[in-house]
Amino acid sequence: MTGHEELLQIATDIAAEAGELILRRRREGVEIAASKSSVEDVVTRADRESEQFIRDRLIAARPDDGFLGEETGTEGGATGTSGLTWVVDPIDGTVNYLYDIPAYAVSIGVVEGEPDPATWTALAGAVVNPVLGEHYTASRGGGARLNGRALEVNRGVAPNVALLGTGFSYTASRRMEQAAVLGALLGTFRDVRRIGSAALDLCSVASGRLDAYYESGLKPWDQVAGALIAAEAGATVAGFDGAPATTQLIMAADAPLLAVLERLLIEQGFATPIG
């Protein structure tokens, strides 16, 4: 087993166990613990419990690695002492979780370098939707899989028959701006989906459930594993002008379709992304 495969096994095992935990807590009933960026952006007690569980498991398995989690930030320094950092979203799609909409996931990725999408090198990642029993996995150079089945992005799809995914900010004023941009894209694409989990959106590009995806304002934990899974399935994952995806903008699609999406976003004044 290579180093990347070992990291992937750790990510996959822990994400699966955390997925079972949050599913069990959801069946017991959800309790809101706090709000984050706005009243609409909630944290449940299960978010915090899941992150603590994941962090404890990772520290036991990889004590020299760093940790960056949505709820608790860093543990042992941003990069630890090994140069690797685990970037974790304990429940991606918390509002879906709150409403019992079956589109939420545990996302765990491990990166080399600073935990910043603009500069990191993602090595392995797992995204687990426990409701559907779907385990998306990828390692750098090792391809992407859904429950062991190899994934490949949809290729050669014309924009007018392409299904586009995106997401919105929890801040109302930003949502209005983002919706205006999206409205201008609707005449070009087949339709749009707003699923409510960036990790699952990126995995949907990998599995062919979406043809393209873009979003602004994502945090590192929202995109780390999903972006690697999409890229390993053959998607181009990038910001503008071929730059790496960042917290400001991420796009994912087959390269020709991504070029169309990028052009349209720039035409709508998205070159300085809204997020």
Binding residues: 70, 89, 91-92, 222
Q: How far apart, in whole angstroms, are the C-alpha atoms of residue 232 and residue 140?
A: 7
Annotated binding site for Mg(2+): 70, 89, 91-92, 222
Helix, strand, coil percentages in the chain from 3-state DSSP, rounded to 5:
40, 25, 35
Residue 128 has which token pair? 């687990």
Q: Residue 170, exposed/middle/buried by CB under 10 A (0-12, 13-18, 19+)? A: middle
Residue 135 in tokens: 């385990």
Residue 83: how many other CB atoms lie within 10 Å: 13
CA distance linking residue 33 with residue 46, whole number of Å: 9
CB 217 within 8 A of CB 174: yes
> Residue 57 corresponds to which tokens in the numbers above?
């498991």
In sequence order, which residues have a C-beta less than 8 Å from that of residue 190 and are 6 or more positions away? 160, 161, 162, 163, 164
Query: What sections of 31-153 are H helices per DSSP?
Result: 45-61, 94-99
The residues facing 150 across adjacent strands are 145
> Residues 6 or more apart from 170 whose CB is under 8 A from it?
36, 37, 38, 40, 41
The rounded distance, in Å, linking the Cα atoms of 128 and 137 is 8
Backbone angles phi, psi at 122, to 5 degrees: -75, 130
